[in-house]
Amino acid sequence: MKHSTFFWFFLPTGLAMLLFIAFPLVSVVLQSVHTPHEAVLVTVENCGPFGCKHETTIDQDATRALRDAEPLGRFVGLDIYFDRGHLAIAEVREAWVTSENWSGFFNIIGNLPFYRAMAFTLTFTFTVTPVLIILGLMIALGVNALSEKIKGLVIFVSLLPMIVTPLIGSLILFWMIDSRGILGNAIQWLAADPDLSLKASTGLTWLMLIVYGVWHSAPFAFVVFYAGLQTLPMDQIESARIDGASRWEQVRYVIVPHLMPLITFVALIQLMDNFRVFEPIVGFNAEAHAQSLSWIIFNDLGGETRQLSAAATSSMLTIFGVAILLSPVLWRTWQDFKGKS
Amino acid sequence: MSSAANRYPVHLKALIYGFITLWVIMAAFPFFWTLWGSFKVELDFFSIADWTNALTGKNTFDTYGYPLTDTGYVGAWIQEEFWRSAINTSIVCFFVVCTSLTIGTLGGYALSRSGFRYTFWLLITALIFRAMPPITLVSGYLLPFFEWNLWGILPTTIIVLVAINQPFTLWMLHSFFQSIPKDLDESAKVDGCTQFQAFRFVIIPVMWPGVITTGLFSFLLAYNDFAVTSMLLSDENRTMVPKIAAFLGTTYTEGNVMFAVAAVVSATAPLFILVMFFQRRIVSGLTAGAVKG
């Protein structure tokens, strides 16, 4: 295909991505190094019968003029990155110096909003991903062994947790797990503690969110692995069986290696997707105990104040995190490309 | 596989069926429970006294003389004007899917037919864009949209969702078009067609399976989005998902949780129907990416 033809074919989609992904990204970068103008103050000397007084007032007109002239605000460099709401360099250094042991250090760090969100985001990402892969594999193996008649129905039902809107899915589970809901009741009965509430403790809230994350994403792993199982080399299974491999050994040494590329694929996709965890926190009303990076951005953007600069800085840090998780994918794609050409 | 399945020993078969039954209950029970509960009063949906009330609807019967009631739905759809959000969602989804597929097909086709090195870099860029959480871009939208008075209206949100959707659409359609033999359009070009005519008369008639599958995922993205729609739409233009989130703020205090429950069930119903009709396509779409990747 000629360059010019390619250009015209690609123009609409390229333009859409340029205007609404690339430019906003630049805008985010710019905002993260700017902060809103401070109000312009004027000091006026007021002389009355009892002597002169200096009064400082906000010059509304000048402030507005300044804000209109430079809507981005004033340039502050990396200050916002290092402030208390983000990387909190000063606080971390102080904690390092003052705390006597590791637990003291982590206690202080754990109270800084960015690190607290990071702790939850990483815990969530790195617990949910392996668990959902194992669960997805188990479901795929199970469904593969079912009789043809009910396979379709089981696949239909399995897709539901994944297809349903994350916010709605988490609300549905949240209402069941509420201390007055059926699961909440059941848990209270099992624990023999009528006051037990999953919402009240940080650990249980995290557990609840992780369970939701697995419930929501396991179907994806299941569908991918199930498709992989359809291409299973039957002769290998057969020969493994003849050699006396038990069923577990067949799974362990034939099926799992065969699915390994798909397992890597699911792991990489899910690491990136779980890193952006956000809707469940809103749905489960769990802000008090669990905050993710995405939730911090959302919180800064919402409400009356709309702290764009703070949100932009959190966005940049989030993108940085995603970039680290994405790098193996990029590396693989690059290797594939080099191999092809 | 059926012959292999028959060879499973009984205890293993029982284990498998038991496990799958458990999973099916885990996956489906919450939806049916909420559907059933949405026709009850709040005291039955959240039953403190006796959980069987949620099944029998004792308090609902006491209040309305029948164990089922539609007050939640009436309240959500009429009193809280959920119908407006439903219309907004339909508009947004329709235009997002149409626009996204139109420009995505052109782009994906071009990427699959051009052998130059820049196609690789374009795809890599798209992959990076796909990996970025949409919420990270929102702070970049707000300032310009406020300045130019574009904030709060549906068209802006539609275009933003189309753009966010493009990277995924491009990857999906790119791999789909690569599975269509190049000889098809090459021979059309030999016969004197321009590239666009070859696309129009040779490729378009055979591309529908891939396009429909991609369209399903575009629809799901637009329908399920919360981060972008809640930030970019004004109160009266809200789509269903941010509207439900807004219910949580207002209705918890008013004691009308059932409005939110009814709204949640209403918003889930279209997805159920979608999965019912397009199950095979969704499965094939999910696996297409995996086989490629």
Q: Residue B178 has which token pair?
A: 């690569």
Q: Is B5 on the interface with A (CB under 8 A)?
A: yes
* CATH code for position B278: 1.10.3720.10
B64 lies in the same domain as B84: no
Distance (Å, whole) CA A196 – CA A201: 9
B59 lies in the same domain as B113: no
DSSP one-letter code for A45: E
pLDDT of residue B67: 80
pLDDT of residue B290: 56
Task: Spell out where chain A has E strands.
Answer: 34-35, 41-48, 51-58, 74-75
Is the pLDDT reported for residue B266 higher than 90?
yes
pLDDT in 10s for each residue of chain A, 341 residues: 788 889 999 999 999 999 999 999 999 999 889 888 777 788 777 777 777 777 777 788 887 887 777 777 788 888 888 888 888 888 888 888 888 788 888 888 888 889 999 999 999 999 999 999 999 999 999 998 888 888 889 999 999 999 999 999 999 999 888 877 888 888 888 888 777 777 778 888 999 999 999 999 999 999 999 988 888 888 888 888 888 888 888 888 889 998 998 898 899 889 988 999 999 999 888 888 889 999 999 988 876 677 888 899 999 999 999 999 888 888 888 888 787 76
Closest CB from B19, B120, B244 relative to A167: B244
Question: Which of A92-96, A199-203, B95-99, B111-115 reaches the highest mean pLDDT?
Answer: B95-99
B47 lies in the same domain as B113: no
List the 152-211 stretch of A: residues with Cβ below 8 A of B. Answer: 152, 154-161, 163-168, 171-173, 175-176, 178, 180-182, 185-186
Is the pLDDT reported for residue B41 higher than 60?
yes
pLDDT of residue B2: 42
| Listed range (A20-24, A258-262, B116-120, B245-249) with the worst mean pLDDT | B245-249
| Listed range (A21-30, A209-218, B6-15, B256-265) with the worst mean pLDDT | B6-15
Determine the residue of chain B that is closest to A154 in CA distance. Answer: B24
- Tokens 């696309």 label which residue? B199
B52 lies in the same domain as B190: no
Residues 6+ apart with CB under 8 A from A255: A141, A229, A232, A237
Is the pLDDT reported for residue B289 higher than 70?
no
Percent of chain B's residues with pLDDT above 70: 93
Percent of chain B's residues with pLDDT above 90: 41
Cβ within 8 Å, pair B136-A315: yes
Distance (Å, whole) CA A6 – CA A28: 30
Cβ within 8 Å, pair B135-A297: yes
B150 lies in the same domain as B247: yes
Average pLDDT over residues B66-72: 83
pLDDT of residue B1: 44
B24 lies in the same domain as B53: no
Structural domain total, chain B: 3
Pair A115, A86: CB distance under 8 Å: no
Distance (Å, whole) CA A54 – CA A62: 19
Contacts of A4 in chain B (CB under 8 A): none
Q: Residue B160 has which token pair?
A: 């933003």
Strand A34-35 vs strand A74-75: parallel, antiparallel, or unpaired? antiparallel
Count helices and strands in chain B by DSSP H and E runs: 16, 0
Which of A117, A136, A167 has the alpha carbon at shortest distance from A275? A117
Q: Residue A67 has which token pair?
A: 């804000």
Using 50, 70 and 90 to split pLDDT, how confident is the model at B137?
Answer: very high
Signed CA dihedral, A64, A65, A71, A74: sign only? negative
| Torsion on CA atoms A335, B210, A149, B1, rounded to nearest 10 | -30
pLDDT of residue B5: 43
B21 lies in the same domain as B7: yes
Distance (Å, whole) CA A61 – CA A48: 26
Measure B104 CA to nearest chain A CA, in Å.
Answer: 6
Other CB atoms within a 10 A radius of the CB of residue A266 amount to 26
List the 218-247 stretch of B: residues with Cβ below 8 A of A. Answer: 220, 223-224, 226-227, 231, 241, 244-245
Structural domain containing residue B16:
1-32
Is the pLDDT reported for residue B264 higher than 90?
yes
pLDDT of residue A230: 87
B19 lies in the same domain as B134: no
pLDDT of residue A247: 84
Measure B137 CA to nearest chain A CA, in Å.
Answer: 6
Question: Between residues B248 and B150, which one has the greater pLDDT?
Answer: B150
Q: How far is CA B167 from CA A83, A284, B177, in A?
A: 34, 30, 15
pLDDT of residue A93: 87
Measure B201 CA to nearest chain A CA, in Å.
Answer: 16
pLDDT of residue B252: 58
B96 lies in the same domain as B158: yes
Is the pLDDT reported for residue B16 higher than 70?
yes
Is the pLDDT reported for residue B196 higher than 50?
yes
B127 lies in the same domain as B46: no
B23 lies in the same domain as B129: no
Using 50, 70 and 90 to split pLDDT, how confident is the model at B32?
Answer: very high
Pair B111, A10: CB distance under 8 Å: yes
pLDDT of residue B255: 60
State the ipTM, two decimals: 0.89
B24 lies in the same domain as B43: no
Contacts of A276 in chain B (CB under 8 A): 133, 135
Query: What domains are there in chain A, each with its CATH number?
Result: 74-111 (no CATH), 119-286 (1.10.3720.10)
Distance (Å, whole) CA A144 – CA A155: 10
pLDDT of residue A52: 78
Contacts of A14 in chain B (CB under 8 A): 107, 122
